[in-house]
Structure 1
């Protein structure tokens, strides 16, 4: 039996196992259905946003094409205006020539009135006929210009209508594709694009390169592609770990490029690749990533983020830089091989210096010990000498003092002894 506690009154109800399971199942089914409805609404809204974005991009392209066509139309209109001006000038010239000819004929008529009226009329008729023929030719030329203008306008209109139809068809195809694509398919489409771009230049630009999917997940994760290039001797020039990320419109949360850099750096280290590159369509409105190659080495060593159009350029840049470094390494190795004898000689010389230094230190220590013993002996003899000299000096002083002793000095400050000595002298004198 299971108990269900009421959250309001706190009372408990005992129900059997089957009833409890049915209640739990109903609750879970209802939550799952609500969650599915929310996800479907989010998916439908994101799909509609993607279709609207694609339509907006195509409209921008169509506006650019319309601007180009408008430029062409303006050029044709300029040509038509020029042709119209030329036609007007030609008509004016012919009219002027006609009027000049008419004036000339009138002048001739005035001068040749006495001539035959038939000849006069014939000359006038011939002149009028020539003028009519010239006018007809001019009219035919103008008709041809008008016809060419109409044909050009029709051709431009047909071309523009075909472009509009192609744009509409492309919008419909994109709308249908966005409806059908899943998150996995969107990511794989970017991977397929990069792989096709690389295979298009593999034979000519990267004949010794390895570029294939990373299928080793033994470390717990894996990248999308690994690129390795070697020289003709099999020495590795450069290695790059690639990760492709596309923004799927059906996902509820938008990811950022920096969200994938830590895992990509981990995959680079585990697969022993020198560089790591994230080929991304995320953050499509970020000018930092739209400007070109973005260096993230300040966050993770040798890390770059690029758009798909920079996929091949980043490979070429890193390969050329590593190729130059490989040349320096080869030159350094050659220099080391050339200097190996000098190194051995220097090692032998250092060994000789160490041995000689040890022997010199031992001999120097013993020499210092002997000098110290000699100094001790000299100090002892010096002390003995000083003691003897001191004793001699004391004896000399004692002798000098003994020589200076007299009766006067002894009795100078001693009246008693002076009286006794005086009494002794007196007795001796008596």
Structure 2
């Protein structure tokens, strides 16, 4: 390094674990290899599943042959899409009138959920200057990177109780109650918590909302799995809608992704919604204006093709009904694979308790496996999951679930 002539001050950063794991899986030639790392939906044959409703929309768009389909949109994005995305997220079935509710929300298009999280973090760092952002322990690893790059100090609140493999509600509330300061941001997963698969129940969500309101904390929702987690877009948006409708004097925001629920992983479809309190609706357009200032300097406007597909589907009652059926297909298969893995581990009398696998929700399971056990699964059985023990349930199938369960049983018994 001493012979390199450069003005750069750079040091190696650790590779992203998920993408590194996926790369190792890709070059593995073992016939029984299993990928439980990357968070994408797979069929029981282990193949990608372009949603049938998305394929219908794509065919219709080809026939329409819109001459403007590759043109620029606005800096805030495709405006009709933003209205659809907002309505899907918030529902507007609360006590406020629909017009008043919509007047509180400023929306812009983003580069998927990651872009929405990043834009929101940057906007708050510039214009609210929070002392800290509170992330769950554990959380999606990219949350740490996003807020680090935004320059906001990160703190964590307890979320996972390892001994019981359950949501640590008491730990979360106690930590935020005693340590969080007025104006701090609290990052909340709207549903299907990544990586644990553990969500607060509705009573707990109510208590979290009350705490945020009382301590004047700023809720930042990351909604990556609406409709994918339970099969119901209403159920998966319950927490966001409760906060918005029942705490109208509290500001909040939502990062919304369409990667999982439409299977548009590579199309990067997302939105960011800033919710003013009901006394500040007059500044909504100023908020959007400032968000656009950041967008213009970073990527000018959101991608067009993916949001056009979403817009095509959700503007049609028939296609929307088809989409709801596709969501049920995906969520049902995930639930079935959870049950199948649990049944196999029980049949094998694998040491430990495994009820958490079927109690968790969404794409991921925090299995409780140790890093040593995870490495053993990869080295001996060619089964790939994160060193934290997080497994992507969509990588399981009727063909490999018994193999995976037997491998887990083996590495646990050999370690004990």
**TM-score over 0.5 for the alignment?**
no
Q: Which structure has more helix as a fraction of its residues?
A: 1
Higher Rg: 1
TM-score bucket (shorter structure): under 0.3
